[in-house]
């Protein structure tokens, strides 16, 4: 290991990162191929930023992001969850993906990556330039991280480390400094296992390595801005923010010990398995107060309550009827429409009465459609 790499590694550890590696700035051909095929199939759904020609060009050629770029420093931080204490069974609870149990990971990773980058620039002679990204840059982060030796790509698409599993946030620092590469890439270790493919609740893993985001619960509950397709709603179960199914099923997760980063842990079990009646009743101010500093804040209230309504519909628990009936008067049509769907699923006389009353006053065409479908479900007498 070169002296420079030793120093990068020691400093990355000091900052709290679990893994660091360096790779040349050209994205590997087989990953670019996988990306192009993914776009060609339309698997990116409504994530237009993944397909915009200028962004595609940047993912293919990082020199368009940072002219003269030569190296990519990749970091990984574990967010592996600890076992949760029991939550009270007094009302239905939602399931939040464990990457969102703690603080927003961008807020934790980026300032530390800036510090790491500043150190690298200093060691590389002081004139190097860099750009640091977590998630939001036009960079194929998994591709570079796998090439830098941080893990292998699993059939669930995730970067998996044989001893740390795939509960890993990734970050990349592009720099024009010529840094000695690490590696070699770890060999793929999925073998004949297809547990992730079999575990996906919606069949989003259409085949090993192939993720159709349009069916992925992470996309449906976080990225999708409009209504969730009706046929997929029952398959979401109690998931209201992201999904961990394809990672929970992976045998390599059993070697991961819980994250050492306090900011990524759930401050209370409520963060991981929140009581749904309370969430359904949140107004804008309550939403902001409750989710300040969490990745869920970026989802905005309307989309969260859309997801909560679906989970309540799936709960089969008619005690949810009053909160859902109240949501039929929500200012946000997205919330009203999904509350209507949930009431149609729960059925019963109170749900029917609430739906009929809402039909009298509702003017939004999409919500009227939802009301009509829900009333057909409960038997409109």
* Least separation in angstroms between CB 353 and ligand B12: 37
143 binds ligand B12 (CB under 6 A): yes
139 binds ligand B12 (CB under 6 A): yes
Q: Footprint of ligand B12 on residues 250-309 (CB under 6 A)?
A: none
* Least separation in angstroms between CB 135 and ligand B12: 4
Q: Considering CB under 6 A, how many residues would be counted as binding ligand B12? A: 36
Long-range pairs for 49-52: beta carbons < 8 A, 24 or more residues apart:
none
CA 128 – CA 134 distance, rounded (Å): 20
Beta bridge partners of 75: 20, 171
Stretch that binds ligand B12, among 114-122, 241-249, 255-263, 318-326 (CB under 6 A): 241-249
58 binds ligand B12 (CB under 6 A): no
Q: Which of 113, 128, 132, 140 binds ligand B12 (CB under 6 A)?
A: 140
Determine contact, residues 280/338, Cβ cutoff 8 Å: no
Determine contact, residues 84/259, Cβ cutoff 8 Å: no
243 binds ligand B12 (CB under 6 A): yes
In the bound state with ligand B12, the residue whose beta carbon lies nearer, of 38 and 264, is: 38
Q: Which of 60, 135, 248, 332 binds ligand B12 (CB under 6 A)?
A: 135
Q: Which of 23, 71, 78, 156 binds ligand B12 (CB under 6 A)?
A: 156
245 binds ligand B12 (CB under 6 A): no
Determine contact, residues 256/80, Cβ cutoff 8 Å: yes
113 binds ligand B12 (CB under 6 A): no
User: Hey, what are 66's tokens?
Assistant: 């940072």
Determine contact, residues 177/118, Cβ cutoff 8 Å: no
* Least separation in angstroms between CB 212 and ligand B12: 9
Stretch that binds ligand B12, among 239-247, 312-320, 329-337, 340-348 (CB under 6 A): 239-247
User: What is the per-residue burial (b if ≥16 Cβ within 10 Å, else e) of 273-282?
Assistant: bbebbebbeb
Determine contact, residues 293/302, Cβ cutoff 8 Å: no
Q: Which of 135, 198, 330, 380 is catalytic?
A: 135
Provide DSSP, 293-341: TSGGGGG-HHHHHHHHHHHHHHHT-GGGHHHHHHHTT-S-HHHHHHHHH
Determine contact, residues 213/243, Cβ cutoff 8 Å: no
Helices (H), 124-236: 141-147, 195-199, 217-218
209 binds ligand B12 (CB under 6 A): yes
* Least separation in angstroms between CB 205 and ligand B12: 7
Residue 198 bears catalytic tag: no
Q: Alpha carbon 310 to chain centroid distance? A: 18
Q: How far apart are the first and last CA of the chain?
A: 76
Determine contact, residues 93/275, Cβ cutoff 8 Å: yes
In the bound state with ligand B12, the residue whose beta carbon lies nearer, of 223 and 317, is: 223
* Least separation in angstroms between CB 314 and ligand B12: 18
Q: Footprint of ligand B12 on residues 11-30 (CB under 6 A)?
A: 30
Binding letters toward ligand B12, positions 159-198, x by CB under 6 A: x------x-xxx----------------------------
Q: Which of 218, 307, 314, 315 binds ligand B12 (CB under 6 A)?
A: 218
CA 253 – CA 163 distance, rounded (Å): 8
SS3 135: coil
* Least separation in angstroms between CB 62 and ligand B12: 12
Determine contact, residues 209/155, Cβ cutoff 8 Å: yes
Residues near ligand B12 (CB under 6 A) are 30-31, 34-35, 38, 47, 50, 97, 99, 134-135, 139-143, 153, 156-159, 166, 168-170, 209, 211, 213, 216, 218-219, 223, 242-244, 246
Return the active site residues: 135
């Amino acid at each position: 290991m070169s002296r420079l790499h030793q120093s990068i590694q020691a400093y990355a550890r000091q900052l709290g990162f679990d893994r660091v590696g360096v790779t040349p700035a050209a994205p590997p051909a087989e990953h670019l191929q996988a990306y192009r095929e993914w776009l060609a199939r339309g698997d990116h759904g409504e994530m237009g930023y993944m397909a915009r020609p200028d962004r595609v060009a940047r993912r293919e050629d990082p020199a368009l992001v940072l002219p003269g770029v030569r190296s990519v420093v990749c970091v990984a931080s574990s967010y592996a969850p600890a076992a949760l204490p029991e939550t009270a069974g007094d009302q239905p609870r939602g399931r939040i993906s464990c990457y969102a149990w703690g603080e927003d990971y961008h807020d934790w990773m980026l300032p530390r990556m800036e510090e790491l980058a500043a150190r690298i620039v200093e060691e590389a002679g002081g004139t190097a330039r860099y750009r640091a990204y977590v998630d939001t840059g036009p960079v194929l982060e998994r591709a570079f991280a796998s090439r830098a030796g941080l893990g292998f790509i699993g059939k669930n698409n995730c970067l998996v480390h044989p001893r740390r599993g795939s509960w890993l946030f990734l970050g990349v620092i592009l720099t024009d400094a010529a840094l000695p590469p690490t590696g070699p890439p770890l060999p793929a270790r999925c073998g004949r296992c297809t547990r992730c493919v079999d575990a996906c609740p919606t069949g989003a893993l259409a085949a090993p390595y192939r993720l159709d985001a349009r069916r992925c619960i992470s996309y449906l509950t976080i990225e999708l801005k409009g209504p969730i397709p009706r046929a997929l709603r029952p398959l979401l179960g109690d998931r209201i923010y992201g999904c961990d199914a394809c990672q929970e099923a992976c045998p390599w997760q059993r070697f991961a010990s819980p994250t050492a980063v306090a900011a990524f842990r759930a401050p209370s079990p409520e963060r991981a398995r929140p009581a749904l009646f309370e969430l359904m009743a949140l107004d804008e101010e309550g939403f902001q107060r409750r989710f300040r500093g969490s990745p869920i804040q970026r989802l905005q209230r309307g989309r969260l309550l859309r997801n909560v309504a679906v989970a309540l519909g799936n709960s089969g628990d008619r005690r949810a009827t009053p909160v859902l009936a109240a949501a039929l008067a929500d200012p946000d049509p997205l919330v009203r429409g999904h509350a209507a769907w949930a009431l149609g699923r729960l059925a019963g006389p109170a749900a029917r009465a609430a739906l009929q009353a809402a039909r009298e006053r509702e003017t939004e065409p999409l919500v009227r459609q939802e009301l009509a479908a829900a009333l057909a479900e409960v038997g409109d007498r």
